Structure 1
Amino acid sequence: MRPTGRSSRRARMADGAVDDAGALGARPPWWRRHRMDDIQRAAVVGFLYERARIGSPHTRSFIILSLLSSAIAAMGLLLDSAPAVIGAMLLGAFITPLLAMAGALIQGWVQRLVDAALMVALGIAMSMTAATLVGVVFAGQIDRAVLPPLLLSLTRPGLLDLGIALAAGVAAGYATMRTEAAGALSGVAVSVTVEPPIAAMGLFLASGRGEEFRQAALALATNFGALVLGATVSMAWWGFADRDTRGTARQARVGLIAWVVLVGAVAVPLAVYSRNVIRNTAFEQEVTSVVGTWDPSVRVVSLDASTTGERATVRIDVTGPRRPEPAWRLAELLSERRGERVEVLLTFTLAQEDRAVSSG
């Protein structure tokens, strides 16, 4: 007897069930969502929340590492030494409480969220103290008009910084949840640590640079918010959520929404600032090109140019073997090219060379 269409479909479904049953021991495809079992989840929870609270046996190590890493980062920023800053980031201990905050947001664990946040606040306080002391000792290095490029970059946060921190948070969450990625934790720590902006804040605080301090604080808020958000998404996707141990669903939703709003609030000024930085950087390149036409004999020492689209300001420091052309000519050249009013503030340093040969 020929089977009907319905019975044929049932037969195929049964065959598929047998195939699936026979493949239960097979490893699922990499794109399939991972589910943690109770033992794995308990191991992650024990690792994170035992370390992410003040008063635990790990608090002393956290404080010492925060002080040392920030001091190294501060000196590396003053020396414009990327290896020193990377070494400081590897020492930083912020990764654990940041991930603990992400897990607490997923599960709605209010007390654990508070404990981890207090741990982060303690680390920031210790790190800023160390960096400020370095700034006081080496105040002469940050009193100069031109900041080292690494230190200067921390005063110019943008949407790219937000994206990097978000991706790093996802990587940190993945490395924590998947044991096969545990070896990537050291690389993740380089990206996710918040030590460089904290060190910059301490240096600017010691030197009284209020504007730069605020910009470094914005960089810190960017990294901090995006890291936790990225780690929250990653840990939730790879199976950290557990209804049996979760607080109320309302607490979890409120916490996550509040954090998303916080990151969104940081992203708005970053978007504006990024647009201004891109526009001003293009303007500075244009000024450098025009200076060669204005007076080929001078060399640009420092340049700070900004524009609103209607009015532009150029602060330029040049040096040369003779007095340069008048500043108003440079302003006119820029105004003709850009079609806006340009104000030029020029500082000139005479470069003299005196050569002598002994008579002996």
Structure 2
Amino acid sequence: MTQWPDKEGQKTIYNNVSGDASPDRYYFGMVILSCTVATYGLLSNSTAVVIGAMLIAPLMGPILGGALAVATNSNPLLKMSAKAEALGAVTAVVLAALLTLVLPSAELTPEVLARTTPTILDLVVALASGAAGTYAMCVKPQGATLPGVAIATALMPPLCVVGIGLAKQNFSVVSGAFLLFLANMIAINVAAIAMFELAGFSRDSCHDGTCKTGDAKKTTYRMLYPVVLLIVISIPLAFIMYKTYSHANIEKVIKTSLIESLEAIAPHSTLISTDYREQDNRYQVDAAFRTTKIIMPENIRQMENLLELRLGKPVGVSADVVLVQKVNDKTNIDTFQALLPKVKEKEIVEVVRSSTPEEVIDSVLQEKLALLPNSKLEDYTLEYRKGEGTYKVTVKISSASPVDDKLSKTIQNILEERLKRRVEVNIESKAIQNNPAAPQKSNGSLLYEEPK
């Protein structure tokens, strides 16, 4: 069973925490030194130097002081801790900005960028680290746990990144790093308050070296504020985490689809890199291939077709192609021999889109259904509602498997992008087997209005 500190132990812990939370010369000296080490460690992309700065940074002291002040209802300690943390944070940000301006050629390194996209996981890490540090302080005050907590939660590096972002006038970096610092600080504070509460500090409050019975109701009321802050800070962190995982999932789909397309078009090919951006309800993918085959516009269209089916939106692919020769003692795959004698201006092909709505619709339907196994386009009807500026397309297909709503939405998005009109798509699917069941219907939804 956990042996929590007695009154004498609580008095010792209170005095130690109060000393670490004091904004004296030693405190500011360590802030300046640790900030200098952290800033240049971040700008030089040195993980070891950044870890060293975490170990000597004194910012953990005022946070634990504030937590103990809440648990013990000590207003003097709370004011002193808040003053120390605020002044220390401002000092670190200003100093980091000045140090960055001294090196105008400094770039935003991976160590800097890694602290600009905090997620809910950072909050969980800070909660666990704060609880571990406070627990160790109460149970084994002479233990060496706090340095590990300082490394896990990283209070000084995010503040330095805020200063670096200000110097570079990059406010997305500033906001992301400051959010990480706030999340770490609030989470450590909440975890420490909870551990001090379990250790009995709220029952036997200590002030200025003396302990007395505390007011439990008042402590509970004051604990409500950091918990509310924790919930509030969790909202943007959860949103950032969702965006991060969504971006990673889209990247995975793009890479997988391009690799599959390359394997079908040119088996001896390699996908070097990919990047994408989303604008105007459309994905633009930039890729680089290493291949033994000349990639033609129709091959790019094959890739776009597969990506459109999987992403559900119009996709444009632009590729940088590196031609290579593959040779061994038995075979020689040399693209250059076939390419160089035939370089003519007429080989530059421009992909021309169909001009009439019927041709556009037929082309899109044929492309998308070609990717579905055992599916066939039976017929389609086209109706144009002049007053609404809307095309209504009813598609009849036969398929061996059910058709989900994603197909109709994908076709609708592609048609709206090609026709520059609002489009409604209804798909009636009939099973290839002799099935008397009624046809399935899948209705598309309107995504954007006709451009003016």
Distance 1:329 1:117, change over 3 A: farther
Cα offset, 1:316, TM superposition: 4.1
Distance 1:234 1:290, change over 3 A: same
Could you say which residue in structure 2 is the equivalent of 1:168?
129
Quick one: distance in 1 between partners of 2:316 and 2:217?
56
Quick one: distance in 2 between partners of 1:72 and 1:256?
35
1:252 aligns with 2:236: no
Quick one: distance in 1 between partners of 2:183 and 2:69?
20
Distance 1:151 1:288, change over 3 A: farther
Of 118, 126, 144 in structure 2, the residue corresponding to residue 183 of structure 1 is 144
- Equivalent positions of 1:196-275 (< 5 A) are 196-241=157-202, 242-243=204-205, 245=212, 248-275=215-242
Could you say which residue in structure 2 is the equivalent of 1:283?
250
Which stretches in structure 2 are left out of the alignment for 5+ residues? 206-210, 263-268, 324-452
Quick one: distance in 2 between partners of 1:195 and 1:269?
21
- Equivalent positions of 1:270-349 (< 5 A) are 270-292=237-259, 296=269, 299-300=272-273, 303=275, 311=281, 313-314=283-284, 316=286, 318=288, 331-342=304-315
2:143 is paired with a residue whose SS is helix
Of 47, 50, 55 in structure 1, the residue corresponding to residue 19 of structure 2 is 50
Distance 1:197 1:347, change over 3 A: farther
Cα offset, 1:111, TM superposition: 2.7
Question: With CA pairs under 8 Å and 6+ residues apart, which has the higher RCO, 1 or 2?
Answer: 1
- Equivalent positions of 1:105-144 (< 5 A) are 105-142=70-107
Q: Which amino acid aligns with 1:66?
A: V
Quick one: distance in 1 between partners of 2:310 and 2:21?
57
Q: Which has the higher strand share?
A: 2
Deviation digits for residues 146-172 of structure 1 (CA, Å, limit 9, x no counterpart): x53332221211111110000000011
1:155 aligns with 2:116: yes
Could you say which residue in structure 2 is the equivalent of 1:24?
none
Quick one: distance in 2 between partners of 1:173 and 1:51?
14
Quick one: distance in 2 between partners of 1:331 and 1:52?
59
- TM-score normalised to structure 2 length: 0.61
The answer (yes or no) to whether the contact 1:297–1:324 under 8 Å persists in 2 is: no
- TM-score normalised to structure 1 length: 0.75
Distance 1:214 1:297, change over 3 A: same
Q: Which amino acid aligns with 1:45?
A: Y
Q: Which amino acid aligns with 1:277?
A: T
Of 73, 79, 91 in structure 1, the residue corresponding to residue 56 of structure 2 is 91
Q: Which amino acid aligns with 2:12?
A: A
The answer (yes or no) to whether the contact 1:283–1:306 under 8 Å persists in 2 is: no
Cα offset, 1:106, TM superposition: 0.8
The answer (yes or no) to whether the contact 1:77–1:150 under 8 Å persists in 2 is: yes
Cα offset, 1:318, TM superposition: 4.6
Distance 1:179 1:273, change over 3 A: same
Q: Which amino acid aligns with 1:278?
A: Y
Quick one: distance in 1 between partners of 2:99 and 2:322?
34
The answer (yes or no) to whether the contact 1:108–1:246 under 8 Å persists in 2 is: no
TM-align CA RMSD: 3.2
Quick one: distance in 2 between partners of 1:95 and 1:88?
13
Q: Which amino acid aligns with 2:248?
A: T
Cα offset, 1:119, TM superposition: 0.3
Q: Which amino acid aligns with 1:38?
A: K
Q: Which amino acid aligns with 1:127?
A: A
Distance 1:317 1:211, change over 3 A: farther
Q: Which amino acid aligns with 1:269?
A: P
Q: Which amino acid aligns with 2:225?
A: A
Of 24, 32, 44 in structure 2, the residue corresponding to residue 67 of structure 1 is 32
1:43 is paired with a residue whose SS is helix
Cα offset, 1:297, TM superposition: 6.1
Cα offset, 1:65, TM superposition: 1.5
Q: Which amino acid aligns with 1:67?
A: I
Identity of aligned residues (%): 25
Distance 1:71 1:180, change over 3 A: closer
Q: Which amino acid aligns with 1:215?
A: G
Of 8, 11, 18 in structure 2, the residue corresponding to residue 39 of structure 1 is 8
Distance 1:158 1:249, change over 3 A: same
1:303 is paired with a residue whose SS is strand
Deviation digits for residues 1-25 of structure 1 (CA, Å, limit 9, x no counterpart): xxxxxxxxxxxxxxxxxxxxxxxxx
Cα offset, 1:262, TM superposition: 0.2
Deviation digits for residues 300-357 of structure 1 (CA, Å, limit 9, x no counterpart): 2x735569xx94645647587999766776544421222223466x596999xxxxxx
Distance 1:190 1:52, change over 3 A: same
1:299 is paired with a residue whose SS is strand
1:183 is paired with a residue whose SS is coil
